[in-house]
Amino acid sequence: MSTIVTNSRRAVQDHFEPEAMLDPQEQRRLRGHLDQIDYAAFAANREIIGKTLGATSIAKFERLAVCAAHARAEWVGAALGATEHTHTPSDAEVTRLAALRLAYDELAEAYEAMRRMVERGYLSFSANK
């Protein structure tokens, strides 16, 4: 399995690519081992994430989404404020922008991570608030 990092997102390529030198029987045996490994990771994620986070709901997703939206708006608003003048933003303004962007990025990543946890079956989801 390989991981490619693009911008702030990770793309995981998780498909089996058999070695050209392996005979079909060896390929099937290797695929079986890889399935066992994948299941072990699934079971560990489901157990640990379930114990740590419990069940999730639309209300939790809404809270994360609203918080991320506020962080994004504050970040962009600060950028607009820093560019109202014709000068280059100060070091302090740039530092503040970086902190605001980091806050937004972290909240957006947490939202996406929680969504993937539901999608993969690591986290149970209730449509009720």
pLDDT tens profile 83-129: 888 788 999 999 999 999 999 999 999 999 999 999 999 999 988 76
Burial class (CB within 10 angstroms; exposed 0-12, middle 13-18, buried 19+) of 109: middle
Q: Please give the helix or strand (H or E) that residue 5 lies within, else none.
A: strand 2-6
Quick one: pLDDT band at residue 1, thresholds 50, 70, 90? very low
Residue 39 pLDDT more than 70?
yes
The better pLDDT of the pair 114, 20 is held by 114
Give CA–CA dist 92/86, Å, rounded: 16
pLDDT digits (tens, 9 = 90+) for 47-92: 999 999 999 999 999 999 999 999 999 999 999 999 888 788 999 9
